[in-house]
């Protein structure tokens, strides 16, 4: 790709300007030029303006017989609340591979939620001279996928409460007659989606009038237990006052009051379905299988039982296509899906990775990022995403910073929005060395999957050479294939060339097949305990609620699903304050829930917020529009 028309030489300045200023200083290539570099013709994508395009799924069918490129996942050590630069490293590595090392490369990233963009964290396009552009389009509406998820999620929520309402006022026969109204010929018939429910109930009859009174009751009455409903409404805004609400207070709802709440849109199971689906047909099945709660008899109630699975698929039909964008240096990026990294698996989509691997071809590289530290994001990438995709990574990158390692070595607390303690900006090699126990555990855990591990030390201006050498030595001692200091934030791809070379060598020299942490045919508890051991736990303690849920999911036939642990990202343990590499603790499981359509069980370790709140001074104070140029300013 060295002769590519779409590779851009960056004019780097120091000190590094604000991210949005760098992004606005570069005129992106028309997205058709980026598509051309991937051998995509106009029939393979739909344009969304000048700088974004949806890559269409039939590309996969056309490339079915061609070989895949190398597959690389980027995780990190246990982070500080400030983040350690995984997205920036992912982008910088790809800029190095494409713009400096003459490799065909594609970056696969999650779509960010607008919650953090306007809240406390800011955007997620990378940073400095390693970014996805246009940054404002990446961080805001993009191509509308999250809006589609919001609409689909809330349609299902409306269907649940409406069904309870109508069942409360109608007889079985009246329900059947309204579900199967008379046609012009005066006859009743089942709609196609109803046959899914009939089949699940073991009823083989094809006409409504053939049903016995008992079958009419079974078919027409879902009898949803309101206390069992797990499906909540969503919106893509941080709003703490929607965490717990009461619905049904209008006079027309006849006293059907129920306590529920809102989650942020990216916490919707529909987002996890989008990320884990492998085809349009697979997405249809997953959406239909989503369980919203139970009947009063204890049987799961699905979206297809409510008759809405097909409509959800229609709302999601464009969202299944990944969005093509570009980096500052003109290398291609596929942005797709953005599931939570605690109650979901925190990885971009399977379809984006599959398309990218075919497009770069043998010898090319696809680099994707896994949310939070490797104990969460990389573990779920391997045991959930790779299990469903059938894909095998060759290399896992672990991003580390001197700052985070000092914290794990016993440094003062790091608090977002507050100045760093002097311990983090002056040399202290012994503090760094003490914190490398955290890095060492991430390396050993990740190596166990059969991949080569490369440590990327994301360098800050205050880091000393002695501190950086200490990390490199500790990483190699712990079994890393290589450990490289990177300056991609300050220098773009040029600052990650050594990392690119290390990743290439690691991919070319992998010797083991992919190994999962656990088998799917063991019990839910055994899977949970296998993951807990990887954290350093000596055992697991289950609440009475967790025990009940495990028994219920096992009885309902869901024990063969993988596990998606919902745990704090700030420690290997359940206590965010426990830094380093704690051992001997008992991991408490407070509750166990399931995303059946997405395809995993998620145990809750402590309390997980699925609707963030806004701080006293949110990011939106800095965001505005330059009305003279039409450009967004103040995004971080």
| Range scoring the smallest mean pLDDT among 22-36, 41-55, 356-370, 602-616 | 602-616
Dump pLDDT digits (tens) for 5-23. Answer: 567 889 899 999 988 889 9
**pLDDT tens digits for range 364-391:** 999 999 989 999 999 999 999 999 999 9
Percent of residues, the chain, with pLDDT higher than 70: 99
**pLDDT value at 161 more than 80:** yes
| Mean pLDDT value across the chain | 95
Statement: residue 420 has pLDDT above 80: yes
Q: What is the pLDDT of residue 133?
A: 95
d(CA 594, CA 617): 35
Q: Is the pLDDT of residue 151 over 90?
A: yes
Q: State residue 1's pLDDT score.
A: 39
Dump strand ranges (E) for 347-406: 365-369, 395-400
Tell me the pLDDT tens digit for each residue of 60-90: 999 999 999 999 999 999 999 988 999 999 9
Using pLDDT thresholds of 50, 70 and 90, give the confidence band for residue 343: confident
Residue 254 confidence (pLDDT): 81
Q: Is the pLDDT of residue 455 over 50?
A: yes
Go through the domains of the chain in sequence order and give each one's CATH number.
19-143+318-509 (3.40.50.300), 146-299 (3.30.1510.10), 524-604 (3.10.410.10)
Q: Give the helix/strand (H/E) hosting 609.
A: none
Q: Which residues contact 490 (CB under 8 A, 6 or more apart)?
A: 12, 14, 16, 128, 129, 461
Residue 118 Ramachandran class (φ > 0 left, ψ -120 to 50 alpha, else beta)? alpha
Please measure the distance between the N-terminal and C-terminal CA atoms of the chain and give it in whole angstroms. 31
Kindly give, in sequence order, each residue whose CB lies less than 8 Å from that of residue 342, ignoring residues fewer than 6 positions away.
372, 376, 566, 567, 568, 569, 608
Cis peptide upstream of residue 134 (ω within 30 degrees of 0):
yes
- Whole-number Å distance between alpha carbons of 344 and 272: 6
Pairing of strands 539-542, 586-589: parallel
Q: Is the pLDDT of residue 123 over 80?
A: no
Contact 121, 371 (CB under 8 A): no
CA 579 to chain CA centroid, Å, is 25
What is the pTM (predicted TM-score) of this model? 0.95
Asked whether residue 578 carries a pLDDT value surpassing 70, the answer given is yes
pLDDT in tens, 196-243: 999 999 999 999 999 999 999 999 999 999 999 999 999 999 999 999
- pLDDT tens for each residue of 518-577: 999 999 999 999 999 999 999 999 999 999 999 999 999 999 999 999 999 999 999 999
Whether the per-residue pLDDT at 417 is higher than 80: the answer is: no
Give Cβ neighbours of residue 602 (< 8 Å, ≥ 6 apart).
343, 344, 563, 564, 565, 566, 592, 593, 594, 595
Find the helix packing angle between 280-289 and 309-316, rounded to 10°. 140
pLDDT digits (tens, 9 = 90+) for 89-116: 999 999 999 999 999 999 999 999 998 8
What percent of the chain has pLDDT above 90? 88
Residue 36 has pLDDT above 70, yes or no: yes
Residue 85 is encoded by which pair of tokens?
Answer: 């630069």
Three-state DSSP string of 421-483: CHHHCCCCHHHHHHHHHHHHHHHHHHHCCCCEEEEEEECCCCCCHHHHHHHHHHHHHCCCCEE
Paired sense of beta strands 53-55 and 323-327, if any: antiparallel
Q: How far apart are CA 319 and CA 313, in angstroms?
A: 10
Quick one: pLDDT at residue 4?
53
Q: Are the CB atoms for 269 and 290 separated by under 8 Å?
A: yes
């Amino acid at each position: 790709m060295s002769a590519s028309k779409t590779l851009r030489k960056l004019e780097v300045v120091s000190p590094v300007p604000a991210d949005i200023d760098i992004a606005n200083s570069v005129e992106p290539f028309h997205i058709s030029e980026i598509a051309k570099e991937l051998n995509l013709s106009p029939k393979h994508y739909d344009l969304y303006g000048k700088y974004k395009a949806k890559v269409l799924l039939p590309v996969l069918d056309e490339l079915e017989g061609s070989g895949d490129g190398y597959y690389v996942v980027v995780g990190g050590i246990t982070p500080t609340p400030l983040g350690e630069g995984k997205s920036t490293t992912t982008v910088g590595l790809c800029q190095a591979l494409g713009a400096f090392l003459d490799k065909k490369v594609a970056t696969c990233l999650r779509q960010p939620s607008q919650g953090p963009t306007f809240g406390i964290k800011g955007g997620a396009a990378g940073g400095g001279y390693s970014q996805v552009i246009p940054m404002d389009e990446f961080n805001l509406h993009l191509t509308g996928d999250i809006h589609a998820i919001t609409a689909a999620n809330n349609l299902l929520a409306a269907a649940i409460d409406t069904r309870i309402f109508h069942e409360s006022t109608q007889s079985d026969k009246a329900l059947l007659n309204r579900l199967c109204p008379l046609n012009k010929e005066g006859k009743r018939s089942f709609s196609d989606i109803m046959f899914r429910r009939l089949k699940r109930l073991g009823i083989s009859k094809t006409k409504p009038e053939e049903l016995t009174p008992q079958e009419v009751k079974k078919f027409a009455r879902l009898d949803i237990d309101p206390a069992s409903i797990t499906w909540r409404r969503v919106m893509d805004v941080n709003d703490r006052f929607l965490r717990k609400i009461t619905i049904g207070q209008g006079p027309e709802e006849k006293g059907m009051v129920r306590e529920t709440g809102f989650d942020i849109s990216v916490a919707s199971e529909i987002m996890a379905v989008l990320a884990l689906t492998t085809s349009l047909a697979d997405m249809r099945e997953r959406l239909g299988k989503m369980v919203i709660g139970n009947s009063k008899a204890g049987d799961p109630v699905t979206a297809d039982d409510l008759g809405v699975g097909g409509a959800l698929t229609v709302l999601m039909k464009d969202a299944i296509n990944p969005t093509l964008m570009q980096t500052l240096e003109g290398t291609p990026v596929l942005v797709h899906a953005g599931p939570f990294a605690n109650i979901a698996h925190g990885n971009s989509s399977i379809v984006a990775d599959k398309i990218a691997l075919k497009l770069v071809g043998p010898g090319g590289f696809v680099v994707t990022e896994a949310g939070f530290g490797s104990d969460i994001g990389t573990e779920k990438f391997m045991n959930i995403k790779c299990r469903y995709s059938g894909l095998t990574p060759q290399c896992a990158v672990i991003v580390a910073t001197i700052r985070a390692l000092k914290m794990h070595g016993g440094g003062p607390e790091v608090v977002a929005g507050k100045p760093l303690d002097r311990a983090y900006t002056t040399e202290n090699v012994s503090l760094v060395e003490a914190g490398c126990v955290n890095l060492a555990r991430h390396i050993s855990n990740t190596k166990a999957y059969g991949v080569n591990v490369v440590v990327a030390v994301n360098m800050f201006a205050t880091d000393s050479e002695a501190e950086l050498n200490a990390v490199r030595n500790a990483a190699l001692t712990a079994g890393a294939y290589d450990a490289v200091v990177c300056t991609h934030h300050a220098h773009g791809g040029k600052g990650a060339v050594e990392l690119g070379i290390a990743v290439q060598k690691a991919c070319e020299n992998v010797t083991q097949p992919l190994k999962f942490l656990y088998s799917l045919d063991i019990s839910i508890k055994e899977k949970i305990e296998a993951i807990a051991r990887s954290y350093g736990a000596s055992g697991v303690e289950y609440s009475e609620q967790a025990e009940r849920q495990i028994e219920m999911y096992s009885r309902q036939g869901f024990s063969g699903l993988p596990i998606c642990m919902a745990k704090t990202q700030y420690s290997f343990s359940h206590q965010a304050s426990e830094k380093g590499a704690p051992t001997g603790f008992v991991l408490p499981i407070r509750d166990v829930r399931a995303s059946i359509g997405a395809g995993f069980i998620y145990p809750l370790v402590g309390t997980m917020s699925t609707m963030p709140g806004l701080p006293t001074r949110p990011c939106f104070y800095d965001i505005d529009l330059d009305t003279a140029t039409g450009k967004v300013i103040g995004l971080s």
